[in-house]
Amino acid sequence: MNAIAHTPTSNLLRRAVQLDAFATAAMAALLIATAAPLSQWLHLPQNLLLGAGLVLVPYVAFLGWLLRRERITPAQAWTVILINAAWVVDSAVLLLSGWVSPNALGTAFVIVQAVAVAAFAELQFFGLRRQRRG
């Protein structure tokens, strides 16, 4: 057995995944429960908002599963980081593609959540680096 297999998950990585899980669960609940009024306020399609909320549910379940593990492996951490990075890229594509026409509030909503997700990914990356050094 190698030493890496027994290296505990860094506190930063675990906390970053916990924060991601909490914020993502809150966002999923918000999008699912309020897709119709959010659609009117943000000028984003209701089905897009509802679909985004529903897509987040299995991701939150995955994060919860990871947090119940004694150790988050590098492969699992990279999976989380890459999912978050894909969300950020998809958010930018959504705004730049012309597929939707959000108002200023809708544009800000998409940008702010993308910046938050990018911050989670960055914290998770630094937590993974810290774990590898440990």
Question: What is the tens place of the pLDDT at every residue in 112-128?
Answer: 999 999 999 999 999 99
Contact 10, 125 (CB under 8 A): no
Handedness of CA 22, 70, 74, 124 (dihedral sign): positive
Structural domain range at position 118: 10-133
Cβ neighbour number for residue 81 with a 10 Å cutoff: 20
Domain count, the chain: 1
Contact 9, 131 (CB under 8 A): yes
Q: What is the pLDDT of residues 88-112, one digit of tens each?
A: 999 999 999 999 999 999 999 999 9
| pLDDT over threshold 50, residue 4 | no
Residue 1 lies in a domain: no
pTM of the entire structure? 0.90
Asked if residue 4 belongs to a domain, the reply is: no
